[in-house]
Amino acid sequence: MSSFTKFEISSPGDQALDILQYLFSNDLDVPVGHIVHTGMLNERGGYENDCSIVRLNKRCFFMISPTDQQVHCWSWLRQHMPSDSDLVLEDVTWKYTALNLIGPRSMDVLSELSYAPMTPDHFPSMFCKEMSVGYANGIRVMSMTHTGEPGFTLYIPIEYALHVYNELISVGQKYGIRNAGYYALRSLRIEKFFAFWGQDLDAFTTPLECGREFRVKLDKGYDFIGRDALLHQREEGVFKRFTMFILEDHDTDLDLWPWWGEPIYRNGEHVGKTTSSAYSYTLGRHVCLGFIHSTKPINPDFINRGEYHIEIAGQRFQAKAKLYPFSSLFTQRRRKEDLEVGY
């Protein structure tokens, strides 16, 4: 995650909040320390950028975007910032190394190194604190991951990166810590149904088409770019929908694996193509993400009533379509069972 684009936007007054409320679809007027997932939309309501924004203080924000957004995002922000304002936009990508500490024991490891309680009561989800880790100061510790698993993302001043990494590995030995690469993170985010800008999302995809309505606040008290288009689309309905597909009759040992760009068929008709795929170690199957297109508005009933196939190198494989990650449904069911037996 070190290559991810990182900007800081600040101002002496409220200009930073005002311009970000205009540029982003979610509400950024949150308490200091909170993290907001949001999109930077164009006039059509499509994604120019998909990012996370931390409110460092009342007048300063820290924005994290995909790696390939560094030039485009900088240009978009400069284009829409008033030239006569006191806004300060700084590219701090080079200043921070990012490490992910992911898994059920991440809290234990970080607690030993930070000398501070890391429980959900003291460090809630989607929160950022600047703290010390080991002998390094000024680390932005965020209780979020890009995989859907419990854990933390650490944005470390680059001069402390090796020290913090060595400390994490040393303390983590007794908890079974292991190194994991980007393909492991990719597999996890796909089975959690997390869309990624530049691969699943683009400037022609709106939040309503990819199940991200909850990241749009139409009533936040600010007009924002793309708001009118989203209001119109909400009334008219969506004609394409981001969907998860779980391959059901695919043999991982004998059959070719999907990558992306494979045709999607619904009831024998071609309706779209995949945009991401990975082997899910949780499900023991391949998972594909992609868009279904239709000439009529698409709703959950339309998705659920179809029979789907994914074509890989000319061979079609049966697939189960879902609008929510399988693991989330399993977790909800498990919690319901726990309540029923009195846990």
Q: Show me where the domains of the chain are located.
A: 1-208, 239-328
Q: Does the domain made of 1-208 have the CATH classification 3.30.70.260?
A: no
Confidence band, pLDDT 50/70/90 cuts, at residue 324: confident
Q: What mean pLDDT comes out for the span 329-333? A: 43
pLDDT more than 70, % of the chain? 95
The answer to whether domain 1-208 and domain 239-328 are alike in fold is no
**Which stretch of 50-64, 70-84, 286-300, 329-343 has the lowest confidence by average pLDDT?**
329-343
pLDDT digits (tens, 9 = 90+) for 55-87: 999 999 999 998 888 999 999 999 998 887 789
pLDDT of residue 198: 83
Higher pLDDT residue, 284 or 342?
284
pLDDT digits (tens, 9 = 90+) for 100-154: 999 989 999 999 998 777 888 888 999 999 999 999 999 999 999 888 888 999 9
Alpha helices, H only, 124-226: 161-172, 182-191
User: Which of 57, 63, 53 has the alpha carbon at shortest distance from 26?
Assistant: 53
Helix axes 70-80, 15-23, angle to 10 degrees: 110
The mean of the pLDDT values for the chain is 90
pLDDT of residue 331: 46
pLDDT digits (tens, 9 = 90+) for 208-261: 999 999 999 999 999 999 999 999 999 999 999 999 999 999 999 999 999 999
CATH class in words for 239-328: mainly beta
Q: How far apart are CA 132 and CA 136, in angstroms?
A: 5
